[in-house]
Chain A
Amino acid sequence: MNCEKCQELIHDLLDGTISRSDEFALNTHLKECLDCESVRQDLSSIVTFCRSHRGEYDAPPNSQALWLRIRNVVEAEAANVPVKSKAVRKSFLAELMGRSWEMSLPQLASFAVAIMLLVSIVTVVAIRRGGNNPGPAEQPREQASNINERVWQRQQVINYWKQRVELNKARWSPEMRDTFERNLLVIDQAVNQSLNELNRNPHDEISEQMLNESLNDKLVLLKEFSDL
């Protein structure tokens, strides 16, 4: 006899409906199997207890109200479900973090393909959006304003050094003052020449290079003469 069949027969035994042959077989098994014997003893003590205390427990006076209270408790618990799910999510995250990320070759390959697809889609979208940029007529204007803004920024630094030079100029000899003014004028002419060219053609690399260099030259000249 196996334990499953034995536990079925234990119920019959306790109910007193077991046949003699089954009772014999059951007793034989119970002598050999301690687990089934333990189950028989537990069930037997429950049945004995119930039989001895029969009639002591009455039904609740308002069974309908009892069911309502039970339903309220169930609904209240149902209302707490998000909290529970949050806890579940937390545990999921924790599980995710704690998980080993070793991937098989096919997994890796599919992951790489997914990334490539994503990058391609993003690139295509970016290019299409790029096509929506200001038209060719607006671009030079925008670039010209960028150049003017950059020049303006440099001019702020130049103005600072110019002020410092102005403070010292009185100490110079008239020849030195003339030389300085003459050379500053030459550099300013170069700056203006480059700016005019850039306003005409904002893509002109040479004019941009010349503008940068002449602004640098001006700054260096002012710095050098601010010490004098």
Chain B
Amino acid sequence: MYETSSRRFVFLKSPLVMKAISLLRSTSARRALSIALAFVIAVCLSGAVFAQQHLSKRYQTGKNVRVELRNISGTIVVESWNKDEIRLSATIESPNAHIVPKQMDESLIVDVMSDNRGRGDVGDVNFKLQVPVSSSVDLETRRGQISVSNLRGASVRAHVSTEGDIELTNIVAGQVVAQNTIGNIFFDGEFSTGGTYEFKSTKGDITIRIPGNSAFRLVAASPARKITLGDFWNNGFKTQDGRRYVGDVGDGRSSVSVTNFNGQITFMRK
């Protein structure tokens, strides 16, 4: 044992090691070493990036197409464009994940859950869809953000089972549903005559930005008593100690339901 220790001591005292230690003590050498290390990390990361799959497909459709997307984890971004086709692009984290979109009549169905049953954890799949302006979209994810913009279709549904913000911008649809457990919900659009609109979160803020001349019947509930109706408040509203507001704005042509457990409900005028 003593012999081994003495050998190590001899090794540390060897001229080569002594030279290396003295080199490390110099600033320029340390800088060179840092650069080398950064390079190695960058190479490793780029390898990881290259390990991701990319999917990009185009589907010829009509104007009133319906898109159904069931994701497990990851973001979903939907935008409109002036083409009668859908462009689907996805970044797939796991090499094991499979995505097989199905086009049927006037609808496109992407079901990550069904496509990967029994494959274990498939990680995040981040989608970006470009769809015709008058498309209807039905989007679901267990976890992740959903963003939809510039749509004028029949319906928009965005459902996040757990946490993830939902952002619906410039939406004009007869039916809108946005629901999550933790996360903010933002709606910017118009309420159509006879339309139904439902926004629900357990822990997050719900903000609704609509034109000043909007007409709707509102049922807004927040046990935390954080409801701000802003310009849309009128004396016709009935309230139960600030936790629920029920009333008509204008002639109440559409039906709006907003439920929030712990966050703020805010109505804003565009």
Q: Is the CB of A194 within 8 A of B223?
A: yes
Given A197-B223, A210-B221, are A187 and B181 also a contact pair (CB < 8 Å)?
Answer: yes
Q: Is the CB of B203 within 8 A of A213?
A: no
Q: In the complex, what residues of B have CB within 8 A of residue A214's CB?
A: 202, 261
Q: Is the CB of B161 within 8 A of A224?
A: yes
Q: Is the CB of A171 within 8 A of B121?
A: yes
B207-256 with Cβ < 8 A to chain A: 221, 223, 240, 243-244
Q: In the complex, what residues of B have CB within 8 A of residue A227's CB?
A: 113
Q: In the complex, what residues of A have CB within 8 A of residue B161's CB?
A: 183, 220-221, 224-225
Q: Is the CB of A183 within 8 A of B121?
A: no
Q: Is the CB of A179 within 8 A of B202?
A: no
B64-122 with Cβ < 8 A to chain A: 72-73, 113, 120-121
Tell me the bound Cα distance from A182 to B143 in angstroms: 12
Number of residues on chain A facing chain B (CB within 8 A): 29
The bracket for how many chain B residues form the interface is 20 to 34
Tell me, rounded to whole Å, the shortest Cβ–Cβ distance linking A76 to chain B: 82
Q: Which of A172, A182, A210 has the most chain B CB within a 10 Å cutoff? A: A210
Q: In the complex, what residues of A have CB within 8 A of residue B181's CB?
A: 183, 186-187, 217, 221
Q: Is the CB of A193 within 8 A of B259?
A: no
Tell me, rounded to whole Å, the shortest Cβ–Cβ distance linking A179 to chain B: 5
- Determine whether B206 belongs to the interface, using a CB cutoff of 8 Å to chain A: no
Q: Is the CB of A210 within 8 A of B223?
A: yes
Where chain A touches its partner, the secondary structure class is helix
Tell me the bound Cα distance from A213 to B198 in angstroms: 13
User: Which listed residue, B121, B182, B202, B221, touches A206 by the CB 8 Å rule?
Assistant: B221
A34-89 with Cβ < 8 A to chain B: none
Q: Which of B143, B200, B223, B262 has the most chain A CB within a 10 Å cutoff? A: B223
By beta carbon, the residue of chain A nearest B221 is: A206
Q: In the complex, what residues of B have CB within 8 A of residue A186's CB?
A: 181-182, 202-203, 262
Tell me, rounded to whole Å, the shortest Cβ–Cβ distance linking A154 to chain B: 17
Q: Is the CB of A207 within 8 A of B162?
A: no
Given A194-B223, A224-B142, A225-B142, are A173 and B203 also a contact pair (CB < 8 Å)?
Answer: no
Q: Is the CB of B182 within 8 A of A205?
A: no
Q: Is the CB of B240 within 8 A of A173?
A: no
Q: In the complex, what residues of A have CB within 8 A of residue B163's CB?
A: 179, 182-183
Q: Is the CB of B72 within 8 A of A228?
A: yes
- Determine whether B123 belongs to the interface, using a CB cutoff of 8 Å to chain A: yes
Sample of 20 A–B contacts (CB below 8 Å): A172-B121, A176-B121, A176-B143, A179-B163, A180-B162, A182-B162, A183-B162, A183-B163, A190-B262, A194-B223, A210-B261, A213-B200, A217-B202, A220-B161, A221-B161, A221-B162, A221-B181, A224-B161, A227-B113, A228-B72
Measuring CB to CB, which residues of chain B are less than 8 angstroms from any residue of chain A? 72-73, 113, 120-121, 123, 142-143, 161-163, 181-182, 200, 202-203, 221, 223, 240, 243-244, 259, 261-262
Measuring CB to CB, which residues of chain A are less than 8 angstroms from any residue of chain B? 171-173, 175-176, 179-180, 182-183, 186-187, 190, 193-194, 197, 205-207, 209-210, 213-214, 217, 220-221, 224-225, 227-228
